[in-house]
Amino acid sequence: MAGNHENHGLLLAGAILLLTLLLVVKLRRRSKQYGGVTLNLPPGPWQLPVIGSMHHLVGALPHRAMRNLALRHGPLMLLRMGELPVVVASSAAAAMEIMKTHDVAFATRPRTNTTVSLTGDGLGIALAPHGDHWRRVRKLCATELLGAPRVRSFRGTREAEAAALVASVAVEAASGAAVNVSSLVATYVADAVVRSMVGDRIADREAFLACLCEGVRVAAGFSLADLFPSSRLARALSGTARQVEATVREMSRLMDGVIEEKRARKAAGAGCEEEEDILDVLLDGGGGGAPLDIGTVRAMMRDLFGAGSETSASTLQWAMAELVRKPAALRRAQAEVRSALAGQSRAREEALQELPYLRLVIKETLRLHAAVPLLLPRECREPSRVLGYDVPQGTMVLVNAWAIGRDAASWGPDAEEFRPERFEEESAAAVDFRGTDFQLVPFGAGRRMCPGITFGLAVMEVALASLLFHFDWELPGGTEELDMAEAFGITARRKSDLWLHATVVVPPL
């Protein structure tokens, strides 16, 4: 008995010692000295030498692993990715402090090896540091390139491309085989975006498009050198910088060809009757002031295609996947579209105003499948305090929009369920994604918020309406459960292509 008591006493003393040690280690980590000042850093998981917190992210996609870590460590969390301190915001309150209360302090983008390689040939908007250049191109986007009148002017292009999408689905469906919705939708979006950017009269269009797509793929990749910026070994081992530079060179070569072609057509007096496209505006000096240099023109084209294509395509693919898994929602959306377009032969944008449920379907898809799940990284420009914690200057900041969209604290116990009707209920009826409601931030918020919302929604709405108007959709025979896994990358696109069975209901002309 006495021995047992002694053992218990020893165990208790050992446990207290261990707890004290852990507490000291934790407190030391959280209240680190920075330039002689003691900081109250956000909490985070334990770190290893060299790799920091990276072992906590192994085995799951970053936005999912970070959500799981946040459930344990809180809505503002400090990680270390190799050498890089990274703060992750995972709640609406944390997102609001970063993108509203301290928006100016977090309005710049980090310079990493990959971004240096990507912008070596010219600086556009998405990766530009906060400053005069960014302000100019941002204003240009808002007023000239992506504003409602410009987006409206591309309506004919979108309707024609949506009709081409419907025709392709009809051809594939005619054989009775399943249709690769992912591939057809990606082609539709790329074509609609590129035609809005450069028109449809360029030679070598296929090569241009393929190269832009490759640029998006390479830029979205993971760079070892980004995590260990001071390591020459990491730089040498990392193929990414070389790959990015080669792709950027090829893109610039093709882009210069397109620009020359445009200038030649203009000089020959052709094209006056054509609709002005985004490249025309950029070449015309971009809305007044000194003309943009050629590097900026190229980089803007790359950024707009990069930011607009995969995001919109991925959202459309997820919307179709979610609808097929929820037949009641699919039937309701189809009934709405077919009633609004009754007697018409194809979807036209003026009829889309009468499709409120279709819009809720897109909103709910963006809530569950934020196309850029961690938004684009920001960097802290000046020491800041967020949710009572210190965020040192130079820290990379990620906002986990994916986790925020699925947070039960904001969305209730069915937060993980696809239910567009939630936006008809009083609790969520007023919630929108335009940067004022921080529980729904698939486009970000504040100064660096996506300037392409109107463009993106227009591209998605006419395509979704067309697919639902002309066809009935089902899982292919033999498929019981749809694979909803996401792929690794900056965007949370589907891991596997979406194959569905389509039956023509309203034949395309």
> Which ranges constitute the DSSP H helices of 84-222?
92-96, 113-119, 132-140, 148-153, 155-174, 181-198, 205-219
Q: Is 286 in the site for ligand HEM (CB under 6 A)?
A: no
* Phi, psi (rounded to 5 degrees) for 381: -90, -20
Q: Does residue 449 belong to the site contacting ligand HEM (CB under 6 A)? A: yes
CA dist 355 and 365 (Å) reads 16
Answer yes or no whether residue 125 interacts with ligand HEM by CB under 6 A. Answer: yes
Among 312, 334, 384, 439, binds ligand HEM (CB under 6 A): 312
Short-list 398, 185, 219, CA closest to 309: 185
* Near ligand HEM in 33-92, by CB under 6 A: none
- Of 144-163, which residues contact ligand HEM (CB under 6 A)? 146
Burial class of residue 447, CB neighbours in 10 A (0-12, 13-18, 19+) = middle
- Using the minimum distance from each CB to ligand HEM, give the nearer residue, 163 or 464: 464
Nearer to ligand HEM, 392 or 456 (CB): 456
Q: Which is nearer to ligand HEM, 124 or 508 (CB)?
A: 124
- Measured CA to CA, the distance from residue 11 to residue 4 in angstroms comes to 10
Of these, 92, 352, 355, 371, which contacts ligand HEM (CB under 6 A)? 371
Task: Give dist(CA 224, CA 83) in Å, integer.
Answer: 11
Does the footprint of ligand HEM cover residue 452 (CB under 6 A)?
yes
Cα(136)–Cα(363) distance, integer angstroms = 30
- Residue 380 assigned ligand-binding role: no
- Asked if 188 and 164 touch (Cβ cutoff 8 Å), the reply is yes
> Site for ligand HEM (CB under 6 A): which residue of 84, 92, 375, 404?
375
- Which one of 42, 85, 215, 308 is in contact with ligand HEM (CB under 6 A)? 308
Q: Is 456 in the site for ligand HEM (CB under 6 A)?
A: yes
Which two tokens mark 501? 């069975």
Q: Binding of ligand HEM at residue 138 (CB under 6 A)?
A: yes
* Distance, CA of 398 to CA of 388 (rounded, Å): 17
Nearest 5°: the CA angle 286, 287, 292 is 25
Interatomic CA distance for residues 72 and 45, integer angstroms:
9
Say whether residue 281 binds ligand HEM (CB under 6 A).
Answer: no
Residue 315 interacts with ligand HEM (CB under 6 A): yes or no: yes
277 or 303: CB nearest ligand HEM = 303
- DSSP SS3 for 286: coil
Residues that bind ligand HEM (CB under 6 A): 125-126, 138, 141, 146, 303-304, 307-308, 311-312, 315, 371-372, 375-376, 442-444, 448-452, 455-456
Enumerate the known binding-site residues.
Answer: 450
Enumerate the known binding-site residues for heme.
Answer: 450
